[in-house]
Amino acid sequence: MLGALSLFRSSNEEWTPLSPRSHYPSMPSYPNTTDHVLSYTTAVFSVVGMSCAACAGSVEKSIKRLPGIREAAVDLINNRSLVIFSPSFLNEETIREAIEDAGFEATLLTVTDELNDKSVQVCRIQIKGMTCTSCSSTIESALQAIQGVIEARVALATEEAQVHYNANVVNYNQILEAVQDTGFEASLISSGEDMFKIDLLVQGALDEHSMKLIKESLEVRPGVLGVEIHQEFNKISISYKPDMTGPRDFIKVIEETEPGNFKANIFPPEGGQRDAHRNEEIRQYYRSFLWSLMFTIPVFLTSMVLMYIPGIKHVLDTKVVNMLTLGEVVRWVLVTPVQFIIGRRFYSGSYKSLRRGSANMDVLIALGTNAAYFYSVYSVLRAATSKTFMGTDFFETSAMLISFILLGKYLEIVAKGKTSNAIAKLMNLTPDTAILLTLDNEGNVTGEEEIDSRLVQKNDVIKIIPGAKVASDGFVIWGQSHVNESMITGEARPVAKRKGDPVIGGTVNEKGVLRIKATRVGSESALSQIVRLVESAQMAKAPVQKFADRISKYFVPLVILTSIATWLAWFLAGKFHAYPKSWIPSSMDSFELALQFGISVMVIACPCALGLATPTAVMVGTGVGATQGVLIKGGQALESAHKVNCIVFDKTGTLTIGKPVVVSTKLLTNMVQREFYELVAAAEVNSEHPLAKAIVEYAKKFRDEENPAWPEARDFESITGHGVKAIVRSKEIIIGNKSLFVDQNVAIPIEAEDILAEAEGMAQTGILVSINGKVAGVLAVSDPLKPGAPEIISILKSMKIRSIMVTGDNLGTANSIAKEVGIESVIAEAKPEQKAKHVKDLQASGYTVAMVGDGINDSPALVAADVGMAIGAGTDIAIEAADIVLMKSNLEDVITAIDLSRKTFSRIRLNYFWALGYNLLGIPIAAGVLFPSTGYRLPPWIAGAAMAASSVSVVCCSLLLKYYKRPKKLDNLDIGGIRIESSSDAN
């Protein structure tokens, strides 16, 4: 379902006079439970022949290349593919053929009308306890194995999972149980059922009878789809159709059920659940660290400081039993609660990890600290039972290791929380309150009331005072002002608003008072959908992350083997006197020296840093992109964009403004313009093409009415990429380009050829009109270039990116436009499927191709390209097909998107350098390679501190992306927006 959400581009008009109305693009939409104009069908195919993730990706890509596809998910384990598509654009057979064209056998299993069968749902789950990529991979595999789960993504950085599932086969409770069975804590954040669901808190003397009465009162309300009672929380969950009812109606029903007995308001939002979970986790680690520190500092002092103070040293060396000293007893008592109470989380994590057949960071920590602790216990017990044994304990190693690791985890979680600040800022844009107006039948205000903004319903009239935030998506019904939309679109210049203009919730009213009518509320709003798009993007894994996933499978077992090998090598070397005795510190023997080397190797290795290298950078990068007006749909798009070395631009609406106007008319028959344009407009009014709309708009000049009734057109036919045919007043009308006239065997006179050539030379599109088989006139239509287009092409050249223009327009016009902007390669008169073919040809030549377009006919090329970029003013289909959405519709954002992706991947490489550097350099040093030549060894507690620092450094490195600034070259361009002077501005 493609909801039409409004995002904006501003005008170049000065501040004081109101500028012409802006053109408002659509935004990507998400499935919801309300009826829309477009209907969708869900089909499930059996796919035979897939053997790996690359095969599944190939099938998914082949399906998504088709126009009208809303969602395509491939289940490799069950050899299934689920496709949600619009029957208006294609059928099941076309999809099946596309799968077979990819090289696999496909059989249609089921087809359902999605509007009648809400079987496919999405749930998001919070997961506690993940420490590295082996954890996330284990959960992902467990979820994929559930019958009915179509797709599952688990993100380590956000500690969340997003699962697409068939509600007829499995429910979200079973999915939660599957996560918990793998040894992790899971809680539901949201499900597909929540899209139009409101939770209300009911206060009062509630019992089973009153709850039942309230439920029955709500269920009979028009538009209510379902009511759930949660008596333990005094909570009522209501699913509803927002077109028919809303939360204010529900509150009124509840409070009127037994007047005076009940009060209702919106339940505290569960959207804060993730923040609450993260804050609680931060508090837990902070408390654990402080408690650990309380015990560790005395241990550190007694073992490394006080031993050098003569009086205190004598006390600590006092014998308690045989050779057991008071200092050893004190350290043992202090360290034990750190090891087993404060450090129990590492035992728990290790057990759960080993139970599911894998090993994570907790295993390394548990082994390292246990080795130090239990060897120390052995040393203490032997000293207590011997009159000659002089043992050395490593209690400080165990305690300091746990303290440093807890500190590192605390800092890591704090830093990770900041990576999602972009989403938090977006979510906080909505105002807390709104001024609701009551109108009489004549539209006069009879009252106003300040309400919670979450109680705004569709068709409410809201008052927006100067300086206030717009409470809901809607359109202006009274007043005029300028609205600052930079927080949504990234566009700094305030946009003029007057009657009929749309506005977005969360934007700021600068000057005058506005009254708006709410059209989209709750999860339908532009802001909500942008938040969901960014959240979804942050869930998606970049292909480069597979590198870390592969390493994580073998990392911990390899480290354990390396640690054992290190201990054994040093122990045997000491046993057989392979090194001088002088190398052994006076406080230990050869066994203890070897043990310290082994423990250091075990605790310095950090799989967490590798796992966080990519997702944290992708999270920050996509969040920064959203604030810049560039919506990047996930890590795949971000990774592909940084490799782009060739950009294919559509012409109309991309390089040009996309609002063409008729600039001249040449009649070749004895007919007045009014009569000529009546016939032409009657034929073109049925077409959605921008050129057709320009002609119809121009034809209105010859009629007095604002919306004239044109003559009836029979047998209308739209010929994609060529023009239209129709019968008007018993006359056959053909309107289109030269190719159409050749196909229709209509002779083009020399005079018409000359007019076409002249128009093309002036970068205008020439349109032929024939009446009853004879050319009756030639129209010249001009579509002005977007501001700054030549400069953008020049900057791309300096970035070593080749620019190509592809258009369905004629070669002459295309060449003129290309020359004007500085593009040397032009492909003209291309049909939609030909655009996609040209993109594939460029890919075959070795280019990484980005396609920039805005129309339905660009969708195949957008999907075929390595990176599809949809101009924000484009159609829903184009935006759905694209990987990146440029919300401001400015070409400068093409450069911003590519530059941001390059900066992000530069950061990812730097993260991998840090993560691998710590391990590749740290492990050999911890193993003692420098000890023979320098005498330097890395004590286990320092190794533990280095391991903790590696994760923190990677996250902080990603956080530096928050300070991203677009290229300075763009700041010198004057591309504030788009202004069109034409007769169509009055629309």
User: What is the arithmetic mean of pLDDT over 442-455?
Assistant: 83
Instruction: Tell me the pLDDT of the chain averaged across its residues.
Output: 79
pLDDT band at 734 (very low <50, low <70, confident <90, very high): very high
For residues 335 and 400, the answer to whether their CB atoms sit within 8 Å is no
Tracing tokens 């032409």 back to the chain, one arrives at 680
Please tell me whether residues 729 and 742 are part of one structural domain: yes
Work out the widest C-alpha separation in the chain, in whole angstroms.
Answer: 126
User: What is the arithmetic mean of pLDDT over 678-702?
Assistant: 87
What's residue 420's pLDDT?
Answer: 63
**Lowest-pLDDT choice from 278-282, 373-377, 534-538:** 534-538
Report the distance separating Cα 29 and Cα 525, nearest Å.
10
pLDDT, tens only, 767-793 = 999 999 899 999 998 878 888 888 889
Residue 533 lies in a domain: no
Nearest to 542, CA basis, from 632, 414, 409, 447: 632
* pLDDT value at 565 more than 90: yes
What CATH number does the domain containing 85 carry? 3.30.70.100
First to last CA, the chain: 27
Domain count, the chain: 8
Please tell me whether residues 418 and 377 are part of one structural domain: yes
Q: What share of the chain is helix, strand, coil (3-state, %, to 5)?
A: 50, 20, 30
What is the span of the domain harbouring residue 670?
Answer: 661-782
Q: Give the three-state DSSP class for 229.
A: strand
Report the distance separating Cα 420 and Cα 616, nearest Å.
9
* pLDDT value at 292 more than 90: yes
Please tell me whether residues 405 and 323 are part of one structural domain: yes
Instruction: List Cα–Cα distances, 577 to 328, 391, 932, in angstroms.
Output: 30, 21, 14
pLDDT, tens only, 245-265 = 888 888 888 888 777 677 887
Beta strands in 751-862 (DSSP E): 765-771, 774-782, 802-806, 825-827, 849-853
Tracing tokens 């128009």 back to the chain, one arrives at 759
Residue where one domain finishes, among candidates 852, 869, 901: 901
Which residues face 297 on adjacent strands?
Answer: none
What CATH number does the domain containing 646 carry? 3.40.50.1000
**Lowest-pLDDT choice from 95-109, 734-748, 965-979:** 965-979
Cβ within 8 Å of residue 869, ≥6 positions away: 850, 851, 852, 853, 862, 882, 883, 884, 885, 886, 894, 897
Nearest to 719, CA basis, from 813, 808, 779, 827: 808
Residue where one domain finishes, among candidates 226, 247, 268: 268
Please tell me whether residues 795 and 647 are part of one structural domain: yes
Report the distance separating Cα 488 and Cα 495, nearest Å.
12
Report the distance separating Cα 152 and Cα 163, nearest Å.
4
Q: What is the CA radius of gyration of the chain?
A: 34
- Known catalytic residue at 650: yes
Sheet holding 149-155, edge to edge: 149-155, 160-166, 120-128, 185-191
Report the distance separating Cα 308 and Cα 289, nearest Å.
27
pLDDT band at 491 (very low <50, low <70, confident <90, very high): low
* pLDDT value at 415 more than 60: yes
What CATH number does the domain containing 696 carry? 3.40.1110.10
Please tell me whether residues 297 and 420 are part of one structural domain: yes
Catalytic-role residue among 650, 854, 858, 876: 650
Q: How buried is residue 871: exposed, middle or buried, by Cβ count under 10 Å (0-12/13-18/19+)?
A: buried
More confident position, 6 or 373: 373
Residue 26 lies in a domain: no
Report the distance separating Cα 585 and Cα 702, nearest Å.
102
Report the distance separating Cα 185 and Cα 177, nearest Å.
9
Please tell me whether residues 466 and 512 are part of one structural domain: yes
Instruction: List Cα–Cα distances, 600 to 130, 624, 801, 930, in angstroms.
Output: 23, 39, 48, 14
Report the distance separating Cα 24 and Cα 9, nearest Å.
7
Neighbouring C-beta atoms of residue 214, cutoff 10 Å? 25
Long-range contacts of 389-395 (CB under 8 A, 24+ apart): 389/323, 390/323, 391/323, 391/328, 392/587, 392/588, 392/589, 392/592, 393/303, 393/328, 393/331, 393/332, 394/592, 394/595, 394/596, 394/599, 394/940, 395/299, 395/303, 395/328, 395/331, 395/332, 395/334, 395/335
Residue 441 lies in a domain: yes
* pLDDT value at 621 more than 60: yes
pLDDT band at 640 (very low <50, low <70, confident <90, very high): confident
Residue 986 lies in a domain: no
Residue 529 lies in a domain: no
Tokens at residue 893, please? Answer: 């954002």
Long-range contacts of 970-973 (CB under 8 A, 24+ apart): 970/795, 970/892, 970/895, 970/896, 973/788, 973/791, 973/792, 973/892
pLDDT band at 983 (very low <50, low <70, confident <90, very high): very low
For residues 960 and 907, the answer to whether their CB atoms sit within 8 Å is yes
What's residue 6's pLDDT?
Answer: 32
More confident position, 834 or 644: 644
Q: Give the three-state DSSP class for 963.
A: helix
Residue 136 lies in a domain: yes
DSSP 386-411: -SS------HHHHHHHHHHHHHHHHH
For residues 72 and 83, the answer to whether their CB atoms sit within 8 Å is yes
For residues 29 and 520, the answer to whether their CB atoms sit within 8 Å is no
Please tell me whether residues 444 and 409 are part of one structural domain: no
Please tell me whether residues 706 and 673 are part of one structural domain: yes
User: What is the arithmetic mean of pLDDT over 16-23?
Assistant: 33
Q: Is the dihedral of CA 886, 890, 894, 897 positive or negative?
A: negative
For residues 60 and 74, the answer to whether their CB atoms sit within 8 Å is yes
pLDDT band at 566 (very low <50, low <70, confident <90, very high): very high
Tokens at residue 186, please? Answer: 């899971």
What's residue 663's pLDDT?
Answer: 87
More confident position, 945 or 347: 347
Please tell me whether residues 325 and 416 are part of one structural domain: yes
pLDDT band at 217 (very low <50, low <70, confident <90, very high): confident
Please tell me whether residues 146 and 244 are part of one structural domain: no
User: What is the arithmetic mean of pLDDT over 440-455?
Assistant: 83
* pLDDT value at 21 more than 60: no
Please tell me whether residues 53 and 84 are part of one structural domain: yes
DSSP 706-755: SS--PPPEEEEEEETTTEEEEEETTEEEEEE-HHHHHHTT----HHHHHH
Nearest to 575, CA basis, from 561, 556, 589: 589
Q: Is the dihedral of CA 585, 590, 592, 597 positive or negative?
A: positive
Residue 35 lies in a domain: no
Residue 14 lies in a domain: no
User: What is the arithmetic mean of pLDDT over 752-764?
Assistant: 84
For strands 197-204 and 160-166, give the pairing: unpaired
Tokens at residue 108, please? Answer: 């249609």
Q: How buried is residue 872: exposed, middle or buried, by Cβ count under 10 Å (0-12/13-18/19+)?
A: buried
Torsion of CA 677, 680, 681, 682, to 10 degrees: 120
For residues 962 and 619, the answer to whether their CB atoms sit within 8 Å is no
More confident position, 179 or 832: 179
Please tell me whether residues 168 and 306 are part of one structural domain: no
φ/ψ of residue 610, rounded to 5: -65, -45
**Across 37-46, 530-539, 551-560, 568-577, which has the greatest mean pLDDT?**
568-577
Report the distance separating Cα 284 and Cα 281, nearest Å.
5
Task: State what percent of residues in the chain have pLDDT above 70.
Answer: 85
Which residues face 41 on adjacent strands?
Answer: 85, 113
pLDDT, tens only, 896-930 = 999 999 999 899 888 888 888 878 888 899 899 98
Sheet holding 481-484, edge to edge: 495-497, 481-484, 508-509
Residue where one domain finishes, among candidates 901, 935, 960: 901
For strands 80-85 and 723-728, give the pairing: unpaired
